[in-house]
């Protein structure tokens, strides 16, 4: 196989791996919308229930209207608290596309504030509870977190640098396995992308969203920050091995294994859903007089 064809195949595999990581991150994690469907006129209609919203507006919670006489209740409270649940009667709204929906609104909270909620719909199929099932302290609920707005150019730059870092990192790993020519360059580019995207733009995004640049080790337990730190450190380690073996005409097993190990760690990190153990407002501290901006810790 020619070097050009080999390179094209490796880049194709790297793109597939990067897109797989992007889709997985999009569909998992505690702040991605909860998806499901309701039967309307004999046909299932899909819905998306919010688990993340910005502090500048109330959260619109909407379901397809399962029947003209259907009614709904939105039941919520602040999380994590033991206060009584509050009930909001949902109203019927028609979207611009002509879809009729049951809609209720949850009040905006300070940055890192969370609400838990569930929905009860009385329709042609009887009483429907969303989500269904039980949890430790009663009926299952959906937990939603609020964040301050992040300037779009900063957010898009952060996401782009991180996923291009994955792309180049996967290409470096595939090169380490099958065609080491160019592996060193790809590894250094990956480290540069991780540095800018994860260690510079990441904290800036965090500051805009939750008021703190860094809540991972050694100051906190934010899992997203700690995952980013681990990825960055393993690529520093891989590049250090490359520097140590830079005079070798053909990469030996040491630099190749170092790059491969860094890429494996990167993929394992991306298999951990985003925003686990993220910023969480302590409502008890707020009620005791602590400003909301100073009452943010790390959630479960």
* Higher pLDDT pick, 247 / 227: 227
H helical segments located in the chain: 3-27, 152-178, 183-194, 202-210, 223-244, 253-270, 283-287
User: What's the confidence (pLDDT) of residue 85?
Assistant: 96
Domain chopping of the chain, boundaries: 3-29+150-298, 34-147
Beta strand 52-54 with 142-147: parallel, antiparallel or unpaired? parallel
260-299 confidence digits (pLDDT tens)? 999 999 999 988 887 766 789 999 999 999 999 888 887 7
What's the confidence (pLDDT) of residue 233? 97
Q: What is the pLDDT of residue 42?
A: 80
From residue 241, how far is each of 107, 128, 168, 176, 255 by CA, in Å?
A: 52, 58, 18, 13, 6
Overall fold of domain 34-147: Immunoglobulin-like (2.60.40)
**Mean pLDDT over the full length of the chain:** 91
Q: pTM (2 decimals)?
A: 0.86
Listed residue (227, 232, 241) closest to 269, CA to CA:
227
């Amino acid at each position: 196989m020619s070097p050009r064809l080999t390179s094209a195949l490796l880049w194709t595999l790297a793109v597939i791996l990067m897109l797989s990581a992007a889709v997985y991150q999009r569909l998992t994690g505690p702040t991605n919308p909860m998806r499901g469907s309701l039967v309307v006129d004999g046909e299932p209609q899909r819905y998306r229930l919010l688990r993340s919203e910005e502090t500048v507006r109330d959260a619109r919670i909407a379901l397809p209207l399962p029947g003209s006489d259907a009614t709904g209740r939105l039941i919520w409270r602040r999380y994590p608290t033991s206060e009584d649940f509050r009930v909001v009667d949902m109203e019927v709204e028609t979207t611009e596309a002509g879809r009729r929906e049951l809609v209720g609104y949850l009040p905006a909270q300070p940055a890192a504030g969370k609400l838990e909620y569930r929905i009860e719909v009385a329709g042609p199929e009887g009483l429907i509870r969303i989500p269904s099932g039980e949890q430790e302290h009663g009926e299952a609920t959906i937990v939603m977190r609020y964040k301050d707005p992040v300037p779009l150019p900063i957010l898009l730059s952060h996401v782009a640098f991180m996923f291009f870092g994955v792309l180049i990192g996967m290409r470096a790993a595939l090169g380490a396995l099958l065609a080491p020519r160019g592996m060193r360059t790809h590894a250094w580019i990956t480290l540069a992308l991780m540095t800018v995207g994860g260690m510079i733009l990441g904290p800036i995004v965090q500051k805009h969203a939750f008021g703190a640049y860094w809540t991972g080790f050694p100051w906190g337990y934010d899992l997203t920050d700690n995952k980013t730190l681990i990825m960055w450190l393993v690529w520093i380690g891989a590049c250090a091995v490359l520097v140590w073996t830079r005079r070798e005409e053909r990469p030996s097993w040491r630099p190749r294994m170092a790059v491969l190990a860094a890429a494996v760690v990167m993929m394992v990190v991306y298999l951990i859903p985003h925003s686990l153990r993220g910023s969480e407002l302590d409502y008890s501290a707020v009620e005791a007089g602590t400003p909301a901006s100073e009452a943010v810790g790390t959630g479960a």
